[in-house]
C-alpha cells in the first residue's frame, strides 16, 4: 500500500503540515508460484509516516510496529535491520555496471550467498573489492555497530545506530543489525527492517525508509512505513501458543 498512499499524499495533502501519518488494514496481492499453496490475496495492516526526519521517523515506525505486535500477544519476535542503499553504493563505488549490479542484487534479495559469490566471481573488480562485497552481506549482530569501517559502510552503520539508539531499551534489544538485508521493493533507499519469529521461516512484517518515492509524484520528502502480514501473524501466534502448551 506504500505506493498508493504516496500518490494520495502527494495529490491531496501536498500543502498539509508535515509530518503526515496514515494507517490502513487492506487486502494486498502478490505473485506466487503455481502449486505453492500460498494465497495470492492476503490481509495487510500497516502505517506510513511522511515528512519526518529519517532516524526519528524510523524509530517511531519501529516503536509502533513492535508495540502493535506485543499487543497481539506475540513474544519471541525480533527485527532484522539493515540499509537498502548500502550494497548498491558499494557496487557503484567499485565501478560495477548496472546490469551486473542488478544480477548481484537479485541474489542478495533472495539471501542466496552461493549465488552472490557466483556473481561476484564474474565481476571485473579487485580481489580486495570482491572480498568486501562477499563479507558485507554476512555482517550480522549487535557487534556490527561497533566496528570501525570505511565509507559507505560507516554512513550505513551510523544510520542504523541512530535509529536503534532512538528506541526504548526494551525495543532496542529486539533489533538485530543485518547488512545483508536487501528489500525486493525498489523504492526503499535507507534503513529497512523485517520482523521474524522463531515459529516461522518468513517475515511477519517488512518496512523501511524511502527517500525518493514521493518525489516521483511531485512531493520531495521522505517517508517510512511498514506492513504486517496478518495471516502470518496469526500463524506465529498459534505456533508460540503450541510451544507454550507443549512445555
The verdict on residue 180 lying in a domain is yes
Reply yes or no on whether the pLDDT at 126 is more than 90.
yes
Higher pLDDT, 198 or 42: 198
Residue numbers of the domain that contains 116: 95-138
Question: Is the Cβ–Cβ distance between 116 and 134 less than 8 Å?
Answer: yes
Reply yes or no on whether the pLDDT at 246 is more than 60.
no
The verdict on residue 228 lying in a domain is yes
The pLDDT tens digits of the residues spanning 70-102 come to 999 999 999 999 999 999 999 999 999 999 999
pLDDT, residue 18, reads 96
The verdict on residue 10 lying in a domain is yes
Percent of the chain with pLDDT over 70: 95
Are 125 and 48 within one domain? no
pLDDT, residue 29, reads 80
Burial class (CB in 10 A: 0-12, 13-18, 19+), 213: buried
Question: Is the Cβ–Cβ distance between 66 and 204 less than 8 Å?
Answer: no
Looking at the DSSP bridge assignments, the partners of residue 155 are: none
pLDDT, residue 44, reads 95
Are 41 and 73 within one domain? yes
Can you tell me the mean pLDDT for 205-213?
Answer: 96
Can you tell me the mean pLDDT for 163-177?
Answer: 95
Average pLDDT, the chain: 91
Percent of the chain with pLDDT over 90: 77
Per the structure, the count of domains in the chain is: 2
The verdict on residue 68 lying in a domain is yes
The pLDDT tens digits of the residues spanning 30-78 come to 766 665 666 778 899 999 999 999 999 999 999 999 999 999 999 999 9
Cell triple for 53: 526526519
pLDDT, residue 133, reads 93
Are 152 and 183 within one domain? yes
Can you tell me the mean pLDDT for 218-224?
Answer: 96
- Contacts of residue 150, defined as CB under 8 A and 6 or more positions apart, other chains included, come to none
How far lies 156's CA from each of 137, 186, 200, 203, in Å?
13, 18, 28, 22
Reply yes or no on whether the pLDDT at 129 is more than 70.
yes
Whole-number Å distance between alpha carbons of 25 and 4: 13
pTM of structure: 0.89
The verdict on residue 89 lying in a domain is no
Amino acid at each position: 500500500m506504500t505506493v498508493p498512499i504516496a500518490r494520495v499524499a502527494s495529490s491531496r495533502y501536498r500543502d498539509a503540515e508535515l509530518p503526515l501519518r496514515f494507517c490502513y488494514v487492506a487486502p494486498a496481492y502478490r505473485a506466487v508460484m503455481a502449486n505453492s499453496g500460498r494465497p495470492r490475496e492476503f490481509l495487510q495492516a500497516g502505517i506510513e509516516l511522511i515528512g519526518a526526519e529519517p532516524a526519528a521517523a524510523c524509530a517511531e515506525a519501529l516503536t509502533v510496529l513492535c508495540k502493535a505486535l506485543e499487543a497481539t500477544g506475540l513474544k519471541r519476535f525480533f527485527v532484522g535491520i539493515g540499509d537498502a542503499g548500502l550494497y548498491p553504493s558499494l557496487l557503484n563505488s567499485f565501478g560495477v555496471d548496472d546490469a551486473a549490479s542488478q544480477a548481484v542484487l537479485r541474489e542478495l534479495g533472495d539471501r542466496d550467498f552461493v549465488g552472490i559469490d557466483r556473481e561476484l566471481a564474474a565481476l571485473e573488480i579487485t580481489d580486495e573489492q570482491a572480498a568486501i562485497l562477499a563479507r558485507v552481506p554476512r555482517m550480522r549482530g549487535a557487534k556490527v555497530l561497533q566496528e570501525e569501517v570505511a565509507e559507505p559502510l560507516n554512513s550505513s552503520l551510523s544510520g542504523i545506530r541512530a535509529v536503534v539508539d532512538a528506541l526504548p531499551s526494551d525495543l532496542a534489544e529486539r533489533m538485530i543489525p543485518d547488512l545483508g538485508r536487501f528489500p525486493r521493493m525498489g523504492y526503499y533507499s535507507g534503513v529497512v527492517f523485517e520482523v521474524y519469529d522463531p515459529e516461522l521461516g518468513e517475515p511477519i512484517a517488512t518496512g523501511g525508509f524511502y527517500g525518493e518515492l514521493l518525489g516521483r509524484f511531485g512531493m520531495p520528502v521522505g517517508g517510512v512505513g511498514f506492513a504486517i502480514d496478518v495471516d502470518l501473524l496469526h500463524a506465529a501466534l498459534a505456533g508460540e501458543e503450541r510451544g507454550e502448551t507443549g512445555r
